[in-house]
Structures are given as C-alpha cells and as structure tokens.
A and B are shown apart, each in its own frame.
Chain A
Amino acid sequence: MKNQELKTIITFETTQQAMEVEDLVKENNIKARLIPVPSNISAGCGLALCSSISEQEKIELLIKKNEISGIKIYNIFY
C-alpha cells in the first residue's frame, strides 16, 4: 500500500479558478499541484489543489489576498 500522508486539498467552483491558483502558487514558490478531485470529496470543478499540510497557511493567505471565493479546504490522507 502506498505510503499515505495527511494532505491539504482545496476544491474550486470553476476550472478557471483552479488554474489561476495553480499559477499563483507557482509564482510564490509554494509546493502545490493540481490533481483530479479525490473520489471522497465532491466539488464543482474536477481539479483540486493538493499540498502538504505545512503549505496550507501560505496558500490560504494567497487565496484570500487574491479574493478567490467559493473554495473549500479539506484535509485527507492521500
């Protein structure tokens, strides 16, 4: 079984938002990536941002600063 870690998963309402946030985290050197939304979470858009827990606070600040709404933040083992 693959070694699972507790991760931060952020879901979006639209794909555009997902891609916008992917660009933002890259610009700010935050280690996070887009993945298909894990099957135990449902969301408007099929892509979610995945990162380790330690990056969660930075990502949240970035999203707030850029006024991206409708996001949901989850922690799951992945």
Chain B
Amino acid sequence: MGDIMNKKMFCSGGCSAKLGAGLLSSMLNKIPQSYDKNLIVGFKGSDDAAVYKLTDELALVHTLDFFPPMVEDPYIFGQIAATNALSDIYAMGGDVKTALNIVCFPENEDFNILGEILSGGNSKIIEAGGVLAGGHSIADDSIKYGLSVTGTINPNKILKNNTPKVGDVLILTKPLGIGIITTSAKVNEASTNSIDLAIKSMTTLNKYASEILRKYKVSACTDVTGFGLLGHLNEMLSSTSATLYVDNIPYIKEAFKCAEEFLITAGGQKNRNFVGDKVCFNNVPFPMEEILFDPQTSGGLLFAVDKTQVPQIKNELNSLSLPFGIIGEITENKKFKIEVNNGGKYYD
C-alpha cells in the first residue's frame, strides 16, 4: 500500500486543463439546438448541469466532468475528481443518485494506480449518498478520471446560475487559491499546511453547503471551478453587475505570496484574457487579481442570497469545515460587470 501511496502521477493541472472559455463558447454557438420543452436547463445559459423535467415534481439533473491529475496521490486524485463532478448537481440544488466512471489510462501504466483512483472516487460517491453504477474506460497517453452523474431535483426548486437579484449578497463557500497552491506544490514552493488545506477543499463535497443554502432565498447559484471566481461570477451576472471586497474573500493565505512570486497558471491567464476587460480593479494588489482569476479545482459554491437572511445563513455556514466569505453584492448593471474594491465591508 505504501508503494502505491508513493506512486507519482504526472500532474498537469486539474481544472487548469479546461479549454479556454472563448474558444469553447464560439464553437458551442455554432451547434444547432433542437427544441424540447422538458429540457429546462441546457447549455445555452452556460449553467452547471442539464435539467430535464419528467413530471411536475421531478426532474433529472445530468452532468459530467473529468480531468488529468493535479496531485500525485492517486486515491486523493480520485476523491478530487469525484467531488468536482458531483459538485454540479449540488450547484443546481439537486441530490446525487447515480454515477458512472470515466477513465483514460495508459496501457503500460501500473493498474494499481487506477484501482486507487477508482477507490477514491467511489468513497465520495458513497458520501454523496449516490451509487456507482458502472463506467467506461479507454487506453490513452495520459491519465484522466471523472464521473458522469445523475441526480434528481424538484423542477420548482432549481437553482439557476444566471438569475441574481439586485441587492442580494454574494457568498463563497470555499477558499480560493487552489490552482496557485497546487501549481506551486509541483515546483516545491508551497508549504505542507497550504497543500493540505487545498486538498481538504478539493475533497469536500458541496453537499453540505448546498443543503444549507436551499433553505434560503437564493436567487442564483453556481460552483467555482476552472474559470476562476471572476469567470464564474461573470457567467452569473446577465443583466446585473457585482461589487466585491478583497478583505471579505476567503483564500489560502500562502497563495498571495506565491502569486507575488508569479507561480501562476496558464489557466489563470486564459481566464484573465476572457473576462479581464469586464473587471475594474480599484487599488487591488496584483497577487489578489491573480487569485481572483485563478482556476479552482472542485471549488466552492458561489450564490446570491437575500440580504436580510445573512445573520441566519452565516450562523449555519459557520458549521462548515472550510472558511466561507460574504464577498460582495449584486448591483444594477454598470459600466464594468465586476468591480473589485480593496478593503472590506461588514455584512450582518
């Protein structure tokens, strides 16, 4: 077992491996979409998962996610990939039912590694209350793993990602800086504490946060992954804008130092290229900008909720095992989609 734990996999970046958003959206826009009135959420709205109505009370939630390893330990990688794939169900407000493995694995690699990956993945499916129902694997040059997940939801309780209400506050349920820390770890520039916190974040299911926020007046919800906080927030905003406060944003402290040292990802720069011109930074230090563009792997939920409910929801979120932040608010449409201010704002 110790042997396997030491097995190193070549890491290339988790959600940093996503294709650039600009490329993707220009291709997707060219695909004709057929019409089915039961498809209540499809890819037009760049939402987290697809939702298909079966009856007035029941809809299917459908998502898939997979990527190459960003950590060396295969079991942990399996857990992270599964947590990440399951997250989209929670972002919609649904419950996990079944999952299928998606595997790419080199034929001449040690199959024990694959065993560890699948074990890690399965542990999270079970924790989510779902069941592993099969999967598919192909031989490939490099390792990739993830899940196709099916969940259920009441069609009247779907949490869409692009319907935020002006005046609502924005809450983020996991710390940022995961991309920067995992990248710095690859070159031995991150402390064990930070790496452990990053792994803890990546392997914590969004189930717990989702079960809390469902009880409140949430106007929009998404999970923060490869496009970074700013990229996913931008997808949320449609005809509104948002103001964020740097001091309110939860992040792994060491990520700031690493960003100062330019231990940043290609994914972060791609995100900056895609949404950078929609963001106005007011006296924000450069490393903080990088943290806000940093691609997250299996990140937290970002949601907009009624301001008056802040005291109660804050109380409940305090029971979560990771730091959260009330990072800003939704405003009327402004010149810039997102304004980021240095300093903080107290929400109570």
Asked whether any CB of A lies within 8 Å of a CB of B in the complex, the reply is yes
Is A30 an interface residue when CB atoms closer than 8 A count as contact? no
Q: How many residues of A contact B (CB 8 A)?
A: 2
Encode B275-293 as 1/0 by CB contact (under 8 A) with A.
0010000000000000000
Which residues of B approach A to under 8 Å, CB–CB? 273, 277
Bound Cα distance from A53 to B274, whole angstroms: 11
Shortest CB-to-CB span from B289 to chain A, Å, is 14
DSSP class of A's interface residues: helix, strand, loop or mixed? helix
Bound Cα distance from A60 to B130, whole angstroms: 50
A-B pairs with beta carbons under 8 A, tally: 3
* Pairs across A and B, CB under 8 Å, 3 listed: A53-B273, A54-B273, A54-B277
Bound Cα distance from A20 to B277, whole angstroms: 29
Encode A39-78 as 1/0 by CB contact (under 8 A) with B.
0000000000000011000000000000000000000000
Bound Cα distance from A15 to B277, whole angstroms: 32
Shortest CB-to-CB span from B164 to chain A, Å, is 26
Bound Cα distance from A53 to B272, whole angstroms: 12
Bound Cα distance from A54 to B26, whole angstroms: 14
The list of the 3 closest CB pairs from A to B, nearest first, reads: A54-B273, A53-B273, A54-B277
Bound Cα distance from A54 to B277, whole angstroms: 10
Question: Nearest CB to that of A52 among chain B residues?
Answer: B277
Bound Cα distance from A53 to B277, whole angstroms: 12
Bound Cα distance from A53 to B22, whole angstroms: 14
Bound Cα distance from A54 to B273, whole angstroms: 7
Contact partners of A53 in chain B: CB under 8 A: 273
Question: Nearest CB to that of B277 among chain A residues?
Answer: A54
Shortest CB-to-CB span from A55 to chain B, Å, is 12
Question: Nearest CB to that of B274 among chain A residues?
Answer: A54
Bound Cα distance from A54 to B272, whole angstroms: 11
Contact partners of B273 in chain A: CB under 8 A: 53-54
Question: Nearest CB to that of A53 among chain B residues?
Answer: B273
Bound Cα distance from A53 to B270, whole angstroms: 12
